[in-house]
Amino acid sequence: MQKLPVLPLSDSVVLPGMVIPIELDESESRAAVDAAQTADDRLLLVPRPDGQYAPVGTIAELEQVGRLPNGQPAAVVRAESRAKIGAGVIGPGAALWVEVHEVESVVKDPERVAELSRTYKSLVTSILQQRNAWQMIDSVQKITDPSQLADTAGWAPYLDHDQKIELLAEPDVIVRLEKLIDWTKDHLTEQEVAEQIATDVRDGMEKTQREFLLRQQLAAIRKELGEDEPDGADDYRTRVEQAALPEDVRKAALTEVGKLERASEQSPESGWIRTWLDTVLELPWNVRTDDSDDLARTREILDADHAGLDDVKERLVEFLAVRQRRNRRGLSVIGGRGSGAVLSLVGPPGVGKTSIGESVARALGRKFVRVALGGVRDEAEVRGHRRTYVGAMPGRIVRAITEAGSMNPVILLDEIDKVGSDFRGDPAAALLEVLDPAQNHTFRDHYLEVDLDLSDVLFLATANVIDTIPQPLLDRMEVVALDGYTEDEKVAIGRDHLVPDQIGKAGLEPTDVEIGDEALGLIAREYTMEAGVRQLQRAIAKVLRKVTVQLDQAAEPDDHQPVAVTPDNLKDYLGRPRFTPETAERTSVPGVATGLAVTGAGGDVLFIEATEMDGEAGLVLTGQLGDVMKESVQIALSYLRSRGQAGDLAEHRIHVHVPAGAVPKDGPSAGVTMVTALASLASGRPVKSTVGMTGEVTLQGKVLPIGGVKQKLLAAHRAGLTDVIIPKRNEPDLDDLPDSVRGALNIHPVGDVGEVLAIALEDIATSAAVQNPQAA
């Protein structure tokens, strides 16, 4: 029996024969080392993993006391033998002293011990060979004492604390070796499985792809566990069976799930199938929103959001009324042929084509999705890509349905007139099936390859010009023209919508500023010459920004009167007017006539100038005129010469120019304007400054109908003209003209060029007065 101080070990177990450093990071361990120096440098190392002392410890000799390289105090001890802990005793210092009884190792069967020793040596050698620890192999092979051999397990990293405490407490060498052999065999088996997994992974992976490595490891682990079926296939089958899918879609989805179950986890096809199934399951196959039944409220919402646009509002109310009646009569069969509607809103920029889509969706109680088609040149953008392509995805129509979350949203096909085509196909042709109510109940996307019912979708298309829309596509849409706003409508839009919106964006309060109708009318008339209200919105924003600066610079910003913006002080905010009437100045000399045209930005006034000069007889045309417009000049000149009204034009060089030379121009509707300009030049009679005209002319002098009458008359009204000449066959188009504009214009429907010249040219007396004011 010995009396030794105790050094508890919280995170390690020391077996006899081990030499280890011990950090002295607690007062308890320091006291034990100090006490050991009074007991022949001997102490008892006792495991204490969970705060409880083990019954058996290790007698160790204190070899050295010093500091580690990091400066931490430490002691080096050499474990010598096992010892049972007895009763506590009193000893010097603050350490815990106990009685210890040294335990000798027991060898009951030397032959069995020798056999177990050989087995254990071979197992340890296998582990050390895997680690390339050849020096340690030599050291193990030289050990002849079975007890010492078993105690080398104290260095084994694959044994936990509990296992090492069992070895420390066991005096029988046979039992110790048997336990070690079992534990070591288990560890080697785990190592072999791990090595097999690593080998399987390395055989089928690229070393630079970490994600692929993890997937391969997962597959190898499943293979070792006997889980041959890829994880997730059952989940997809369950999701497909529980989803509310149409029967044909369900069959197609289950077929793809079967392919997924048979596909290898490493196959690229597995990822394609999962993506396709996710896309199909995300689509709202049987989700539909309920349309509003209150027609009056629908019209109120449309009126509140947009001024004017009565044609569009009436058509939408008609659509809703028809749908309600079909529902009441039980005719609203889902997927029915021809039950959808496609409206095409055609008009200049800034008239509210895009924003009206949101108002329509809100009025009907439907979801709204905008699909921008401007510049789209790939057919796959509409119909989707084939699944065989890398990065394949469904088309924009399918993505819009998914985004909306219902099968009956309002889908706005924005800028449909700007769809292009190239070697990748013609997107406009792909839209033929989408926008045909007789076909779109079985629309088939190339990616999905299943029928998708679009018959309940309300399609709204927007375009600036109708000419660039292919005729087959245009035939499938119901065109509603938005020709622009009158000045009164612009004032109403500015007062009710633009000013309140811009006040908030400028950080103002409604009580900070007052903009009257007269000021808004002046802005629309002299600062913005447009069919829509986009420039009007920018002008109002500019005014309010300057008002904000004015208020911030006020002496008492918290106590002020509202800033009044009036016609008198509008110049202080916007500068000089940008647009002033110029027709009288331009037409003050013979040879200049005022025509009316339609551009992508709406109606506009077009001046045609003609002059004659000495030189070789001929015709010079400038102003970027197209072929049709050049032919109109030839026709006008031929008509005048055939009627003897060309004077001496045939003997001189004639130059016809259409200003705004940087803008290309074409079309036949300037024919009467060409005749009038040349007749004015030949007769010396100026064209009346209040007259504008439009119409195609023939060699016989007939005036043929043209398009865009409403936009042209609105442009004439904006330009301050009072008399407008139009073809007689366009007279029915006047029904679309707002009453305020129609009342302000003297409209002259004509069928012959002679009538045009009689109305447009000044009489002889007036002409003489204009050319020679002093004689008059």
Q: What residues act catalytically?
A: 669, 712
CB atoms within 10 A of CB 12: 14
644 is in an annotated binding site: no
| Distances in whole angstroms, Cα of residue 79 to Cα of each of 16, 46, 148, 170, 418 | 5, 11, 12, 16, 89
The tally of CA atoms less than 13 A away on the side-chain side of residue 585 is 4
The CA-based angle 695-696-701, given to 5 degrees, is 105
| Annotated binding residue 420 | no
DSSP string, 583-632: HHHHTSSTTEEEEEEEETTEEEEEEEEEEEESSSSEEEEESSB-HHHHHH
* Listed residue (7, 88, 18) closest to 41, CA to CA: 7
**349 annotated as belonging to a binding site for a ligand:** yes
Count of residues making up the chain: 776
From the CB of residue 648, how many other CB atoms can be counted at a distance below 10 Å?
A: 8
Residue 231 contacts residue 225 (beta carbons within 8 Å):
no
Tell me if 708 is assigned to a ligand binding site: no
Quote the strand ranges of 359-484, DSSP E: 368-372, 410-414, 443-444, 451-452, 458-463, 478-481
Residue 160 sits at the vertex; the CA angle it makes with 156 and 161, to the nearest 5 degrees, is: 110
Burial 212-246 (b: 16+ CB within 10 A, else e): eeebbeebbeeeeeeeeebeebeebbeebeeeebb
Q: Tokens standing for 618?
A: 């001929």
Among residues 771, 762, 766, the alpha carbon closest in space to that of 686 is found at 762
**Does 351 appear as a known binding residue?**
yes
Decide the pairing of beta strands 56-67 and 73-89: antiparallel
In 5-92, which ranges are continuous DSSP H helix? 27-36
350 is in an annotated binding site: yes
Partners of 612 in the β-ladder:
654
Q: In whole angstroms, what is the distance from residue 85 CA to residue 137 CA?
A: 35
DSSP summary character for residue 53: -
Helices (DSSP H) in 131-172: which residue ranges?
Answer: 134-142, 146-151, 161-169
Cα separation of 369 and 382, whole Å? Answer: 15
SS3 per residue for 537-570: HHHHHHHHHHHHHHHHCCCCCCCCCCEEECCCCH
CB within 8 A of 477, min separation 6: which ones? 342, 343, 344, 435, 461
Q: List the beta bridge partners of residue 21.
A: 76
User: Hunting for tokens 């109310």 — which residue is that?
Assistant: 317
User: CA-based diameter of the chain, in Å?
Assistant: 151
Please enumerate in sequence order all residues whose Cβ is within 8 A of that of 267, keeping only pairs 6 or more positions apart, or say none: none
Residue 671 has φ and ψ, to the nearest 5°, of -60, -50
Sign of the dihedral through C-alpha 237, 242, 243, 249: positive
The annotated binding site for ATP is made up of 347-354
The annotated binding site is made up of 347-354
